[in-house]
Structure 1
């Protein structure tokens, strides 16, 4: 190691707290990105493996709506048309008494070889599967799932609807991918699945392996209402639902790294300032500017490399905490997903390391450049540095103003480009926060001018000290403002969303009781309530009105493209509870007409008047979209039809949910009566209050991931402020020592140091108000509408605004305690003066 390198590292080892803060800043920033990317990749991989277990090697699916296909049609395909390989499948969701939901996959073991033969490659697995698929009310599940349920081989699995089923096979010895693919699934024979799902004589689909000519020939000869779909159509449609959600989370995770980069810049800049005299002496002795620059970049690279490695380790641990939260959110909002193992993607870890290391080098480039270009004769003149900082501040302010205008213009113009909207949000955040040093300087001067000429000496010293330290504290103020403004913007957005949701629930939940399936995935799949129960509820003397609803998945085509998958809700007329935000307010939904939720219209960019072709068992049904209504139930959107028009078009008399209005105060009495009926097993009956509370709880769970990422950014910014203020006070030890010699007492010296640090934190907190509110307005007005299709009312949360300055004060106080841990030795501090 060269003499230059040894001298630089010796300085770092003399200030280990500065080195530690730098490492932690990079590590926490990288950890946020790695954790989120690992959690998202784990969910995507779990979804992909789960879909692979459903599709196997099939190229096409033959389906016929919610009612399914008759078994006789499968026989006809194999015997009369000779379509082999082909395999029947019965699929649905089953609720256990433990509250868990499992996907039931019924297969024919004699026909499964070409499709899912990989499950049976192992002899032991083959024997276990054979046992499970040849006994009544017997299923196969993985050994890991059995352990979670607390059952052994041939143990009883209690289900909500019917007698317990038998765990006839606990699949072990599977490959890791196979075991993860079967997570949350029960495998059984077709006859068992038909019994459990009440689909006797019916099939969910027929899987086929066809060439393109064979598929075209079969499609042309299918009966009315039958559809031949590519096997990946459903999985592709479902995965597209969560793409915007994942993109927003990835963008938010970058926030912590952005703040970490500002922290690295501030630390390297401070190290350069501390060693200006030493670097000038080296230049006089013959060390070139290029060698100085290379050594500074080497320091930053070393800090970034070790911080990135530590961040990857922290990210893996954090991903294990994020994965259950993310999985629960996907289950609540999009589709059923069971993932318990974190997938350690090498690409995610490499990406985190490169981002952390690259961000550190990029942040150190400007200080290294300045150190290399500064003439040795100017190094000893502190005034030149402060003059340079004033020039830097002027340029930064102009650049920030231009960036702010450009970012806002991009938000206005990038209507259908979500990625550009997120880039504009980052620009808006950084540009508005970069105005902080100029705002602080103006506020400091205004405060100094408002003070009387005589007295208030300590306060004047405090205000002047902050102004003189802007060259060292400017970047830390920007970093802290970025993090605090992110707190304000996200919190105000969530608060606005929460109040909008509560207002929407108050309008839409007009009934006293709601009856539906306890298994929400089964309800989304179209599984209905017992018809006798629906009629019995209507005949109860306490019931004043009953609103029936039917939810079912439906494929549709638009202008010849498709098929696409969405949800269709058919209900009795009740348009008064809807708020229409697109198109005219309709008085009723007529035949051949449909309403669309706002997310559906915005995400598919469909105007009112668009005609869609819905696939029904009786053939294509064309509907015209006549209006769009506000809805927060799903960010993927859905269609709404009149129930009677739906029944005529789809020939489906089923009902998946009831809204019951009772006479007087008899809601609990009616609820208890319904739950006493024998055919109410597997149902849930919720009051309006309970359903509203459940909706708000799901909403709060959805934003737990967001709050965790928000916390990471605050931690990084806190570390940055802590390091910057502590480093600034360390550099100014001689100045404090001089004031002590001039008569400043220890208590006054402490108040001076704390006041300067507190002002920095306070100014950052106050500057975060306009920055955060501007970002919150953009998120509520632009980002949410374009990413998820939701129109929100902007609501201000005053408690968040009051809290942010106190966070800045807290970080500043900790910095003073850190820098003030050494004893006060004025003589030593002034030794070189």
Structure 2
């Protein structure tokens, strides 16, 4: 195709600016959202990986355990191995900063060993400081970012248990990367200050010359005690990537759905453009234009829309990424990279990929209109009324295709996740949306028969046209169906999740008052003497202490949370399934203690109630019987609950992170809170009522799902704009029909009412199909995508009233928008319109 012919097709985009702009913005939104997620997550992962490599230094292998660490005797065993050239012990703690909302990560190192393995952790004493300050128990060396947190102070307080220790800043950690906030202390000082005597978090190993890393890892693996693993330094990035993958993939799929909606809008606008320009194409064909050139021309229009939308999406995506880095750093909104402050890195390959997706969406949307335009016979297309025949062809029933899409969707829902990604679920969603568009003609006829209650002439004309030409509803309603389906599925999924979380909170928060020394990862805790004092307070009925630990059970994934608390045989847990009572004890004659696992571990470890689970506790592997599976929305990486009495017997660890306090009278909560703050210090503990925790949790939930609410609003606007663009184009193609009605005595405002009726009927059919498709998509999101991504179950809850109001609003708004969009076509002289038509 030569440039002049290509320019002819490109110029047509400017003749319908509203429809072209709408399609362009839909493509831009999908590209921008997907690109922003990719850039934010990629930059955060890259920064995290660089940080991990920096902290690992020249280490070839790392020995890592749970958060509480492992016995330091393992260091002496590994340091004497012939495969090991250098071994550097490390203990890592999240030191709680009293009176602040955050903690400080502190690494305890052997200053005589760290220089040979981890140069980035070598402390540097301030000028004029004591040369032995690195061995002082009360000194700490901070990175530039960590020092900025202290607001110029030379000393600050850290919490261990409910006690406070003052640390003096003695120098810097010059090897740290910009933006990394942490401190370095002598390893013995950290063990003493934070009550970790004899424990290590990690051992970094440099191998002897000539020793291959994988061979050494396999050899040394036999020396690892239960719960301790040996891995490469790069594995830490893989763990955080596995944890954040589900959140990132689901955000990316939202972007893909936005792109799909954009593709349907391009389909609608391109098809209407082809209908309106049918005579123009017939003339070009009569003058010698080949079918292939006409096909390429219409595809160029769609591809150009996708290209411009993709370019705009790239700009928006980079802008959103920069804004996200400024406001929330590298966090994706779910707490995976809270302390990461990455920088934007422009990747030509990523930009090219997303630009190609935008172009692909434009070309795909224009394919069917382009094919039908090329197939049209010039002699037929030049006749009056031929455009109606084209629209009528779209309304032909396609029952086999609909059944095929639905059957295939049901089949792919059974597929297991691929690389931890619910590919089958997302394919099923795409198939359901395609089936919804294909079934629209039949549903339009059903809707017309269903609404047979009007006897007015205009109402009967509107019903008669849609009944005779349901293809008009397909063109106008494709965007409505996809946008309504997206809005409905998100509403049902979020409502179900919110109601399930609310019910879950009611089950896991039975006490009147909750006391926390610190988050489970920080250094604050309560000991046995503190618990005894609390239980002796007047008005305290009972206490339920909770100890949170971590265990390494799954290779390549973050540690699993171990919770030790009294669960009353599982009665106090939100159970979803329980094991059948044992008959005759265990197979070896000794009954195993009970353990309750979260749903995540059912999927990741292939467990079920009644099966055996070995846990590394107290330096050995202890067998447990899975007594039940419980619902847990707080820990995506999985959780295990055991009775606290068994935990104390196995570990002798009597520390507690949280305490649930039952009161004899709930009205004593304020009085008890004052006594607790007076005893332990207001800045060292957190106290909250049950309703306060519930309200805060639901507020966090709503903030987390804010993006889905925004997507629903965008979907509604896209659907309404799609109706407006469609009826504006259809009104232009029907100028002759309107002129004839004018000659028969129908006034302009009555034609506007006719178009309003058609718009309302079209929207009703689209909303009806969109609601059904949205319900199916919501089921796939809840039962397939959510289960395979986050391993959570939830109870389905349909916000019936809200969806009914939403559907009614869409129909009424469409009825108002349609005549406004068609107003320009109705202004033309009736005589002139008839002359043009004939």
For the aligned pair, the TM-score class normalised by the smaller chain equals: 0.7 to 0.9
Return closer, same or farther for 1:472/1:543 CA change in 2, 3 Å cut-off. same
Q: 1:410 to 1:125 in 2, by over 3 A?
A: farther
Tell me if 1:37 matches 2:38: yes
5+ residue gaps, structure 1, are none
Quick check: 2:238–2:556 contact (8 Å CA) kept in 1?
A: no
1:803 is aligned to 806
Bigger proportion of residues as helix: 1
Q: Which residue of 2 aligns with 1:781?
A: 783
Q: Distance in 2 between matches of 1:225 and 1:775?
A: 41
Partner of 1:539: 536
Return the alpha-carbon distance in structure 2 between the equivalents of residues 49 and 592 of structure 1.
43
Root-mean-square deviation (Å): 3.8
Paired with 1:500 and 1:296, the residues of 2 have a C-alpha distance of 49
Q: Residues 592-619 of structure 1: CA distance to partner in whole angstroms, max 9, x if unpaired?
A: 4322112221333223343333223432
Identify the range of structure 1 (680-689 vs 190-199) with the bigger mean alpha-carbon deviation.
190-199
Cα offset for 1:673?
0.9
Distance 1:639 1:713 in 2: 40
Aligned to 1:243: 245
- Contact 1:330–1:337 (8 Å) recurs in 2: no
TM-score normalised by the chain length of structure 1: 0.87
The CA distance in 2 between the partners of 1:14 and 1:335, in whole Å, is 47
CA drift of 1:127 comes to 13
Give the aligned partner of residue 290 of structure 1.
292
Contact 2:141 2:172 in 1 (8 A): no
Q: Which moved more, 1:189-198 or 1:40-49?
A: 189-198
1:625-675, Cα deviation, whole Å (9 max, x unpaired): 232123323233211111121222233222222111111132221122111
Question: CA contact under 8 A between 1:27 and 1:309: conserved in structure 2?
Answer: yes
Q: After superposition, where does 1:752-767 map in structure 2 within 5 Å?
A: 752-767=754-769
Question: How far has the Cα of 1:360 moved from its partner?
Answer: 1.1
The answer to whether the 8 Å contact 1:30/1:315 transfers is: yes
> Can you list the C-alpha shifts for 1:387-424, whole angstroms capped at 9, x where unaligned?
45445433434312321232124325658982212211
Deviations 1:196-222 (A, max 9, x none): 644466432221124455555555556
> How far apart, CA to CA, are the structure 2 residues paired with 1:797 and 1:571?
36
Residues 445-464 of structure 1: CA deviation (Å, up to 9, x unaligned)? 4545x544xxx112223333
The alpha carbon displacement at 1:832 in A equals: 1.9
Other-structure match for 2:201: 204
> Could you say which residue in structure 1 is the equivalent of 2:505?
505
Instruction: Supply the distance in 2 between the matched residues of 1:167 and 1:602 (Cα, whole angstroms).
Output: 47
Deviation at 1:794, TM superposition (A): 1.7
Note the 1:250-649 alignment, pairs <5 A.
Answer: 250-320=252-322, 332=335, 337-339=339-341, 341-381=343-383, 383=385, 385-387=387-389, 389-412=391-414, 418-447=422-451, 450-452=453-455, 456-467=456-467, 470-522=470-522, 528-556=525-553, 565-574=559-568, 575-584=570-579, 591-649=592-650
1:155, 1:167 within 8 Å by CA — same for their partners in 2?
Answer: yes
User: C-alpha deviations, 1:326-372, integer Å up to 9, x for none?
Assistant: 9667655x686534645544443222101010121122122212111
TM-score, with length taken from structure 2: 0.86
Instruction: Please list every run of 5 or more consecutive structure 2 residues that lacks an aligned counterpart in the other structure.
Output: 208-212
Q: Which moved more, 1:292-301 or 1:343-352?
A: 343-352
What CA deviation, in whole Å up to 9, does each residue of 1:766-825 have, x standing for no partner? 332222223223333343333323232222202123213413543563454344257823
Deviations 1:83-127 (A, max 9, x none): 532212221213343413332233345433454436889x99999
1:494 positional shift: 1.3
Report how many residues are paired.
813
Asked whether the equivalents of residues 271 and 475 of structure 2 are also in contact (C-alpha less than 8 Å), the reply is: no
Moved more, 577-586 or 16-25: 577-586
Q: Is the 8 A contact 1:556 1:612 kept in 2?
A: no
Deviation string 1:510-536 (CA, Å, 9 cap, x unpaired) is 21122223335327xxx6324432221
Distance 1:275 1:84 in 2: 78
Q: Determine the C-alpha separation between the residues in 2 that align with 1:458 and 1:509.
A: 60
The DSSP-based 3-state class of the residue aligned with 1:661 is strand
CA deviation after TM superposition for structure 1 residue 171, in Å: 7.4
Q: Is the 8 A contact 1:595 1:629 kept in 2?
A: yes
User: Distance between the aligned counterparts of 1:169 and 1:433, measured in 2?
Assistant: 66
Q: Structure 1 residue 240: deviation in Å?
A: 2.5
Q: Per-residue CA shift, 1:134-189, capped at 9, x if unaligned?
A: 8853332344x666x4834x556565673665666677897xxx335x2x434455
1:727 to 713, 726, 729: 729
Q: What does residue 820 of structure 1 align with? A: 823
Determine the C-alpha separation between the residues in 2 that align with 1:330 and 1:8: 44
Give the SS at the match of 2:794: coil
1:663 match: 664
**Distance in structure 2 (CA, Å) of the matches to 1:310 and 1:340:** 24
The answer to whether residue 652 in structure 2 is matched with residue 651 in structure 1 is yes
